[in-house]
C-alpha cells in the first residue's frame, strides 16, 4: 500500500494533494511547516503508520534546503521517491536530478496532474525496492538486455518489441525501458503513442553520458508504466551515433532497469552488432516467407562465426498462416533451431498498431495476444528452472 507524505504550510495545495492521493491506494499524511528537518530520520520519526513511499516537498519551502535533504534521502533511503513542488523548474532541474529527486511539479498543478505524478513516483519506489532487494553488495545490478531482431523489415518487429516491453512492465513496474535503435526509421514512438521531448540522439552525448540521473530525465514515460528512449526525428542523426556510444548507453540503462528491450534496425549494422555485444537475450522475428526465413538462417550463421549469438535466444514466427505453403517444420529445418512462439495472422494486430496501444496493454482477446503473453513468460524468473526439454516448446496457436 502506497504511503504519501507532504511537507508544506500551503493549505490550498495540501487540499489538492490529499484529494489526488485519495484516488490511489494508500494513506496520506501532511506536515504543516516552513522549516525542513536536518535529516531524513528526523522527518520519518515525525510521521507514523505504513512505510513511506513518496515524500513531497511542497510550496513555500526553501528549495535549496529541500534539495540538500533530498540528497540525504537518496543516500540513506533510496527506496523512497522524493518530489519537489516548485515553479523554478528549469533553474533547479539539474541540481534536483543530481540529488535524486524523482520529479518536479508546478505548485499550480491540478488534482489530475498531482495524481499522475504520485502514480509515477509510486512505480519508481516499487522498482527501487525490488532492485535493492535483489542487489549483491559491492556489485552493480545488471538488468537483462533483450535485443529484438530481424534480418528483414516488415515482419512486425516493433510490434513484438512494444508488446514485450508492456508485458514485462506489468511484472516489473518502473523496471522496463524500451530503446528504439532503428535510428533512421524507428516507430516505437508511434507504436506507443508518444511525443518525446528528448530522443536517443540526446542521450548519447553531453551530461547524460556521465550521469544516469540526467539520462533517465531524457526518457519518456508511457501510460503502462514503462519508459521509452525513442529514435531521433531525423534519419541523418544515425550517422553521428557510433556503436561505442550505443554500447555505453545500454550499459547505463542495464544498471538502472531490470529489463532493457531494444528494437533494432533490420540487418546487421554497426549499431546492431554493438547491441549484441551487451545483449543477454535475442528475440528473432521472422515472417512466413522464404526471404525472411533465409535471411534469419544467414544471420544466425554469420553471428555464430563471430561469436555474437547471445546466451538466450527466442525465435518468434509472426503472421503465421497455413495458406503460405510452408509449415513450421519446414522453417525449423531451414534455420536449424526450434521456433519458440508462433503469432498467427490477426486483424487485431494492425488495428492496435494504428491506435498506438499494444495488445498487451488494452487486453484484447486474440490468438496473437496469447502468443505474446507466452513470449513474455519466457523472461519470467521461473522459466530457466524448467526442464531443458521445455525451454523451446512452441506455442502452436
Flag residues of the chain having pLDDT under 50.
1, 133-141, 389, 391, 393-397
CA-nearest of 124, 113, 115, 110 to 82 is 124
Handedness of CA 241, 269, 368, 143 (dihedral sign): negative
Residue 125: predicted pLDDT: 76
Size of the chain, expressed as the number of residues it contains: 397
Q: Tell me where in the chain the CATH 3.40.50.300 domain(s) lie.
A: 144-390
How far apart CA 164 and CA 169 sit, in angstroms, is 8
Q: Which residues pair with 28 in a beta bridge?
A: 4
Which residue spans of the chain are classified as CATH 3.40.50.2300? 2-134
Q: How far is CA 93 from the centre of its chain?
A: 22
Q: How many CB atoms lie within 10 A of CB 354?
A: 10
pLDDT of 256 reads: 83
Q: What does CATH list as the number for 144-390? A: 3.40.50.300
In contact, 169 and 224? CB cutoff 8 Å? yes
pTM above 0.75, yes or no: no
- DSSP alpha helices (H): ranges in the chain? 11-22, 40-45, 63-76, 89-98, 111-134, 157-171, 188-191, 200-203, 207-210, 212-217, 243-256, 270-278, 290-305, 328-335, 348-355, 359-362, 367-377
Q: Name the nearest CA neighbour of 210 among 258, 262, 245, 257.
A: 245
Q: How far apart are CA 25 and CA 80, in angstroms?
A: 17
Other C-beta atoms lying within 10 Å of the C-beta of residue 12: 10
pLDDT 10s digits, 140-176? 447 899 999 998 888 899 999 999 999 998 888 778 9
CATH class, domain 2-134, is alpha beta
Measured CA angle at 40 (ends 39, 42), to 5 deg: 70
Amino acid at each position: 500500500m502506497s504511503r504519501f507524505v507532504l511537507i508544506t504550510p500551503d493549505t490550498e495545495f495540501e487540499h489538492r494533494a490529499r484529494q489526488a492521493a485519495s484516488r490511489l491506494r494508500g494513506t496520506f499524511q501532511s506536515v504543516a511547516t516552513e522549516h525542513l528537518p536536518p535529516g531524513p530520520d528526523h522527518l520519518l520519526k515525525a510521521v507514523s503508520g505504513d512505510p513511506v513511499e513518496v515524500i513531497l516537498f511542497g510550496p513555500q519551502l526553501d528549495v535549496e534546503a529541500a534539495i540538500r535533504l533530498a540528497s540525504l534521502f537518496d543516500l540513506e533511503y533510496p527506496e523512497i521517491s522524493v518530489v519537489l513542488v516548485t515553479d523554478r523548474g528549469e533553474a533547479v532541474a539539474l541540481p534536483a536530478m543530481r540529488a535524486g529527486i524523482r520529479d518536479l511539479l508546478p505548485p499550480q498543478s491540478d488534482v489530475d496532474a498531482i495524481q499522475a505524478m504520485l502514480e509515477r513516483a509510486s512505480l519508481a519506489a516499487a522498482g527501487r525496492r525490488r532492485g535493492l532487494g535483489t542487489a549483491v553488495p559491492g556489485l552493480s545490478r545488471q538488468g537483462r538486455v533483450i535485443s529484438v531482431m530481424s534480418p528483414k523489415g516488415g515482419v512486425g518487429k516493433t510490434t513484438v518489441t512494444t508488446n514485450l516491453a508492456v508485458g514485462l512492465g506489468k511484472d516489473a513496474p518502473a523496471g522496463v525501458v524500451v530503446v528504439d535503435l532503428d535510428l533512421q526509421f524507428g516507430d516505437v514512438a508511434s507504436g506507443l503513442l508518444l511525443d518525446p521531448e528528448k530522443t536517443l540522439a540526446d542521450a548519447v552525448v553531453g551530461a547524460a553520458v556521465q550521469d544516469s540521473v540526467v539520462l533517465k530525465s531524457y526518457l519518456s514515460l508511457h501510460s503502462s508504466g514503462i519508459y521509452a528512449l525513442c529514435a531521433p526525428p531525423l534519419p541523418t542523426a544515425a550517422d553521428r551515433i557510433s556503436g561505442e556510444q550505443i554500447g555505453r548507453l545500454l550499459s547505463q540503462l542495464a544498471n538502472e532497469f531490470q529489463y532493457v528491450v531494444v528494437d533494432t534496425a533490420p540487418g546487421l549494422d554497426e549499431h546492431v552488432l554493438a547491441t549484441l555485444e551487451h545483449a543477454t537475450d535475442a528475440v528473432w522475428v521472422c515472417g512466413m516467407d522464404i526471404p525472411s526465413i533465409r535471411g534469419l538462417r544467414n544471420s544466425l550463421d554469420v553471428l555464430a562465426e563471430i561469436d555474437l549469438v547471445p546466451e538466450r535466444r527466442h525465435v518468434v514466427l509472426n503472421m503465421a498462416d497455413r495458406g503460405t505453403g510452408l509449415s513450421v517444420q519446414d522453417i525449423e529445418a531451414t534455420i536449424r533451431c526450434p521456433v519458440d512462439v508462433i503469432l498467427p495472422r490477426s486483424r487485431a494486430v494492425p488495428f492496435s498498431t494504428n491506435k498506438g496501444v499494444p495488445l498487451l496493454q488494452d487486453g484484447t482477446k486474440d490468438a496473437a495476444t496469447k502468443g505474446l503473453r507466452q513470449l513474455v513468460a519466457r523472461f519470467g524468473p521461473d522459466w530457466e528452472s524448467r526442464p531443458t526439454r521445455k525451454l523451446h516448446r512452441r506455442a502452436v496457436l
